[in-house]
Every structure is written in C-alpha cells, then in structure tokens.
Amino acid sequence: MRTAAFRARLARGDKVIGTFVKIPEISVIEVLAQAGLDFICLDAEHAAFDRGRLDACLAMARALDLPALVRIGGPNAPTILQALDSGAVGVVVPHVNSAETAAGIVAAAHFGAGGRGFAASTRWAGFASRPMSEVLDRDAETVVVAQIEDPEGLESVEAIAAVPGIDALFAGPADLSVGFGQRSLGSPQMLEALERIGAACRAHGKTYASWVPDIDRARDWASYGISLFLVGSDHGFLRAGAAGLALRLQP
C-alpha cells in the first residue's frame, strides 16, 4: 500500500512529488488520485478545511490509497491528533522554531506516555476493527514534518534536525523571504537559508522538503538536497488551465 510505505520512501531518500490541496472537496482528492502524484498535502493552515471537510477528504484519500499529509495551523497537540485519527499519514507543522517545539510535536504525533491519545473507534484504527497491538504497530507509518519558515527557526535548524522522530524539515521559502524583509523568492539570503537547512538535514539523516511554484524551480532546487516537493496547488492548476483556455480562445 502506498500510504503504509510512504514514510519508508522518505527515509530511503526517494524523490516524491505532491501538491497542496486548498479546495476542501472530496472530488478534488478523487481527481488528483488519478494524476500519478506520490502524495497530497491538505492545507488546513491557509484554506477552508473545517474538521468535517478534513475528515471527508482524508476518508477519500485513504479509500484510494493516496498518501495525505495535513498542514495544520501550528504546533497544537489536539489538532495533530485529529488529523492523524482521521487518516492522515502525517502532519506538516508550521513555525517550528526550537528543538523543544519539535520534540513536542513528535510526542503529540506518536503513541506513548504523555503523547498521542489512543482511540480504537477512529479511521486510523479501522473503526474498532483492529486489535490494539496492530494499531500501535502502525504508529511506525506516521510522518512528522517540521516547517522552518521563520528566522528564529533557521537559527535553531541544526537542533531541530537533531530531534528524534522528526522525519523531515520543510523549508518555507515564501515565509522565510518575508521574514528576511524580502519581496521575492530568489534573494541570496533565502538561498543561503536553503543551503543551511539542507546541511542540517544531511547531518542528521532527515528528509528535505519544500514548496516550489513549478517543476522548473523543483529541478533548480534539487541541488540543495530537496527530495520531497510540494509543487503548486489545486488552485494554481485550476487557474492555469482556465487561463490557458481563455488565451487560446482569444481572437
């Protein structure tokens, strides 16, 4: 199963390509599942995902065995729990600025004393159809991604990368650029940040992830060691397709 094997693919350093989902509708998940993507990331930070819509979209992703991450709104344990219980293979957590915060999200995402609460009646647990031991074994599939998108996070990136249980660091190029007082993605300061995050990932055996606007940028940034790419979004694909059609129809 693709979802069950997703974390192992990251650990091997496989290149994986996905996109952000901003439209909280199950039909979008169904269409993207036919596109050959390795995974999707439901953007519950910046898009209109309430818990019900998030649950429905994750149900469709699970049914189609399309690995689905959820970018939540912040390092909040109940939100991590809800995303995973609904069937997310993992979480992308924004504004991780310290090793302490990183350790907290790892604990919230995994079962154990003081960590993720256990409930047998969730989608993750097969709605009480699986024994506890099997559900606990599946904890090994959970992916935890720490987003480095603030200057403070960049200054602590080596310590964050060293935290056990952090599977990947996600460079947030837009937020880093804004944090540096820049107005585009290509500033020398931001590119230096990509280098530093990549070095931290290599030093501690973490997957390196980032968002890119298009495949050309993905090819350029692969040199930093990035292997997990979130390319554009469903919004972008929809607009680009419609704009291209409108252009061709113009006299």
Q: Would you please indicate which residues are annotated as catalytic (active-site) residues?
A: 46
Contact 44, 74 (CB under 8 A): no
- Sorted by sequence, the CB contacts under 8 Å of residue 136 that are 6+ apart come out as 111, 118
The answer to whether 67 and 40 have CB atoms below 8 angstroms apart is yes
